[in-house]
Copies of this chain bind each other. A is one copy, B any other.
Amino acid sequence: MDTYSLIHTALKTDKGYSKIKIGNTAIGNGDFAYIAGPCSVESYEQIFATAQEVKKAGATLLRGGAYKPRTSPYDFQGLGKEGLRLLAKAGKASGLPVVTEIVQIGDLDFFEGIDVIQVGARNMQNFPLLKQLGKCNKPILLKRGFANTIRELLLSAEYIMAEGNENVILCERGIRTFETETRNTLDISSVPVIKQISHLPIIVDPSHATGSASLILPVSLAAAAAGCDGLMIEVHPDPKTALCDGEESITPEEFKQIVLKTNNILPCCYKPRGINI
Q: Which residues of A contact B (CB under 8 A)?
A: 3, 6-7, 69-75, 103-106, 122-123, 125-129, 131, 145-147, 149-152, 155, 158-159, 162, 175-182, 185-193, 195-196, 209-210, 214-215, 217-219, 221-227, 261, 264-265, 268-270
Contacts and interface: CB of A to CB of B under 8 A. Distances in A.
10 contacts: A72-B155, A72-B158, A103-B127, A186-B187, A188-B188, A189-B218, A191-B218, A192-B219, A219-B226, A221-B269
Contacts of A125: 69, 71, 122
Contacts of A104: 105, 128-129
B155 A181 contact: no
Contacts of A129: 104
A185 B181 contact: no
Nearest to A219: B189
A225 B224 contact: yes
Given A162-B73, A176-B147, A177-B185, A225 B265 contact: yes
B215 A189 contact: yes
B268 A221 contact: yes
Contacts of A69: 125, 127
A12 B209 CA distance: 25
Contacts of A210: 189
Contacts of A155: 71-73
Interface centre among A75, A122, A123, A192 (most CB of B within 10 A): A192
Given A73-B162, A189-B219, A222-B222, A178 B176 contact: yes
A127 B261 CA distance: 38
A26 to B, nearest CB: 22
